[in-house]
Structure 1
């Protein structure tokens, strides 16, 4: 089974890639969509440029797609990228976004290929625990929810952070895995990476009015493991 993984560099797409490799799929490509709009309905935006480093760390070709990020039109932009690839299926890291899942399924149906969303409907707390236990180095690079302040930017998701997210979920209804857009992540390292991503220069941008912000990684490099 030749597949492409829809890849943003965040925890969900990276874990979906890990799943595909463990399942024995032939992962031909990582597909990253670069949106001009920070308000994209479909695509992860913060630090999408760093997927180049991650692709090198896993040794899989990266295909970049570009979109203005306009609602619905950005789905057609994805289709144009995928229809040029010789694949039998696509893998997505969707957990709970019906909007994204339905549109990826529609594109796949139109192209005559299969869709795999291995973690759809998963229990979010167990899912996050598994990421930590499996050794994924996940950091938060964007926040946009009550209860999440600028101290969360650049913070690694570990056991302590997960307990705090559980408390915030109870108090503010924050989705514990960030699937409602409450936070965005980046994976610096994973069990199947040959090297880890090291941040050299970062900038925190915080908007007090909206209580939201992003961690912009201006410089980064790969550091061999072991």
Structure 2
């Protein structure tokens, strides 16, 4: 099975990619959609340029899809990119967004290829706990009451996971951040040959929401 993995750099797309590799499939491409619109309906925005380092670390070629990020038009931009690839299917990290899942499924149906969403409707807290167990990731944006500036750039690990879950439950924050309450980026995973290390960064905070911007990063040996 030759597949392309939709890869934003976030924990869910990283998890879906890992699942595809566990199937023994030939992951031919990482497909990263880069929207101009920060409020994209479909795609993750913060630090997407770091997916180039993920490509280098995994050895999987990166396909960048640039789009204005306009509703529905960004879906067509993705379709145009996928139809040029020699693949049998697409793997995505969709968990609960019917909007996202339906559009990816529709693209694949039109192209005559299969759509795989291994995290679809899985227990969201379990996905979060697994991500902490297997990946090294940081929160790179926050936009929900209860998640303050102190979470920007924070690595979520076994030491602070329970506190984050308690905050989520107290303020009604979706445990998969499906409402856009926060976004993440994975800096190390079991299938990375080298890990990504942040050299320089900037935090932008407006008092209610913010973003952790990686200005410089590099690949380093794990051991």
CA contact (8 A) 1:165 1:176 kept: no
Tell me how far apart the structure 2 counterparts of residues 163 and 153 of structure 1 sit (CA, whole Å).
Answer: 17
Render the CA deviation track for 1:3-61: whole Å, top value 9, x for unaligned.
Answer: 00000011111111111001111100000011101000000000000000011111100
Tell me how far apart the structure 2 counterparts of residues 143 and 124 of structure 1 sit (CA, whole Å).
Answer: 18
Give the ranges of 4+ consecutive aligned residues of structure 1 lying more than 2 Å apart after TM superposition.
Answer: 159-162
Aligned length: 223
Q: 2:160 aligns to what SS in structure 1?
A: helix
* Correspondence 1:1-226 to 2 at 5 A: 1-134=1-134, 136-208=135-207, 211-226=208-223
Tell me how far apart the structure 2 counterparts of residues 84 and 78 of structure 1 sit (CA, whole Å).
Answer: 10
Distance 1:170 1:225, change over 3 A: closer
Tell me how far apart the structure 2 counterparts of residues 70 and 25 of structure 1 sit (CA, whole Å).
Answer: 32
How does the TM-score come out when normalised to structure 1? 0.96
CA contact (8 A) 2:93 2:119 kept: yes
The Cα RMSD (Å) is 0.9
Moved more, 164-173 or 144-153: 164-173
5+ residue gaps in structure 2? none
Render the CA deviation track for 1:163-212: whole Å, top value 9, x for unaligned.
Answer: 1222222221101121211110000001111000000110000111xx11
Q: 1:65 aligns to what SS in structure 2?
A: strand
5+ residue gaps in structure 1? none
How does the TM-score come out when normalised to structure 2? 0.98
